[in-house]
Structure 1
Amino acid sequence: MSAPRVQASAVEAALNAALAPVRLEVSDDSAAHAGHAGAREGSHFSVVVVSPLFEGKRLLERHRLVYDALRLLVPQGIHALAIQARAPSELGH
């Protein structure tokens, strides 16, 4: 019997708590990777995060903030994470 998979709701809760985003979208893309070797190792997620904490930060720094927010979930079974991390000023409203 396999271990329970990390749920999108857990990813969303962790990102909300750490990054106080003004926009957050979390998609579980695991089904699209069924049969892929990494699918056995954990879940695949795509996230779109818009946070004031990203203002003035480079892409690598933003990704580090996202991974830091998910540091407790990654070992529980996040195999892949596609990240779009933007600052509110980049939305062009």
Structure 2
Amino acid sequence: MNIQIEIEKKLTEHFQPAHLEVINESHQHNVAPGSETHFKVVLVTPKFSGERLINRHRAVNAVLKEELANKIHALALHTYTDSEWQGLYGGAPDSPACLGGMKRRVS
């Protein structure tokens, strides 16, 4: 199993997120091609309600302690409650309006 999938699995099991993104940013660093050493995590969960930012990060680090000790060099964390996420981004963006695709008549 690759490291990105391990991270996704552990965070999903522990936090039951409303939104989770685990992005491998290793290619932006001086590492071998295909490396999994630098990650960005966007985690939205009601479990962060009432928690200070430092406590949210500590909770994520605790869940990923094995990966941080042995596999991950850098981990950027963006942790939000549901209401913070809604306030910042309003949820998932709407899909664009359909223009008819293949059914559209061409004059």
- Separation of aligned partners in 2, 1:64 and 1:18: 13
Identity, % of aligned pairs? Answer: 38
2:57 aligned to which of 63, 76, 80 = 63
Please give the TM-score of this superposition, normalised by the length of structure 2. Answer: 0.71
Task: List per-residue Cα deviations over 1:17-63 (Å, max 9, x = no partner).
Answer: 1111110000011111025xxxxxx7000000001110011000100
Q: How does 1:1-93 map to 2 (within 5 A)?
A: 7-35=3-31, 43-90=37-84, 91-92=86-87, 93=90
Pick the structure with greater CA Rg: 2
Structure 2: tracts of 5 or more residues without a match: 91-107
RMSD between superposed Cα atoms in Å: 2.0
- Separation of aligned partners in 2, 1:88 and 1:57: 13
Which 4+ residue blocks in structure 1 deviate beyond 3 angstroms? none
How many residues are paired up? 84
Please give the TM-score of this superposition, normalised by the length of structure 1. Answer: 0.81
Q: For the Cα contact (< 8 Å) 1:23–1:51, is it kept in 2?
A: yes
Q: For the Cα contact (< 8 Å) 1:19–1:69, is it kept in 2?
A: no
Q: What letter matches 1:67 in structure 2?
A: N
Q: What letter matches 1:48 in structure 2?
A: V
Shift of 1:81: 0.4
Structure 1: tracts of 5 or more residues without a match: 1-5, 36-41
- Separation of aligned partners in 1, 2:30 and 2:39: 13
Q: What letter matches 2:73 in structure 1?
A: H
Q: Which residue of 1 aligns with 2:97?
A: none
